[in-house]
Amino acid sequence: NAGVTQTPKFQVLKTGQSMTLQCAQDMNHEYMSWYRQDPGMGLRLIHYSVGAGITDQGEVPNGYNVSRSTTEDFPLRLLSAAPSQTSVYFCASSYDRPGGGVNEQFFGPGTRLTVL
């Protein structure tokens, strides 16, 4: 299994450009999430999905769009990049626990994005 894969690893954008960060998992996990990691702020949830066709907003959704047409893929779209979106982006997946709650997350290698 490849686990959770993300592309690209690095990206530089100019303000106003749009792009899509790709995320895929081959573990048949129902849950997928996108986080951004900024120094001193931990991981903040951008958007998440509890299954194909179902997405919801996290803590910091503004400026980002997601869709989940398949179980495997969960792309993150930046609509009009801004310098404040300079960050490291991590995709993660997980699965249900029979007794309630969620299992641990499996993280991708991250995408380092710089917006000039």
Partner 1 sequence: AQSVSQHNHHVILSEAASLELGCNYSYGGTVNLFWYVQYPGQHLQLLLKYFSGDPLVKGIKGFEAEFIKSKFSFNLRKPSVQWSDTAEYFCAVIRTADSWGKLQFGAGTQVVVTP
Quick one: which H or E segment has residue 90? strand 87-94
Q: Does 41 bind partner 1 (CB under 8 A)?
A: yes
**Which amino acid does the sequence have at 96?**
D
Q: How far apart are CA 72 and CA 93, in angstroms?
A: 10
Q: How far apart are CA 80 and CA 40, in angstroms?
A: 25
Q: How far apart are CA 95 and CA 103, in angstroms?
A: 6
What would the two tokens of residue 105 be?
Answer: 């997350």
- Nearer residue to partner 1 within complex by CB, 61 or 75: 61
- Nearer residue to partner 1 within complex by CB, 5 or 17: 5
Q: Does 94 bind partner 1 (CB under 8 A)?
A: yes
Q: Count of residues binding partner 1 (CB under 8 A)?
A: 28
Binding map of partner 1 across residues 49-88, x = CB under 8 A, - = no contact: -x-----x-x------------------------------
Give me the least distance between CB of 20 and partner 1, in Å please: 20
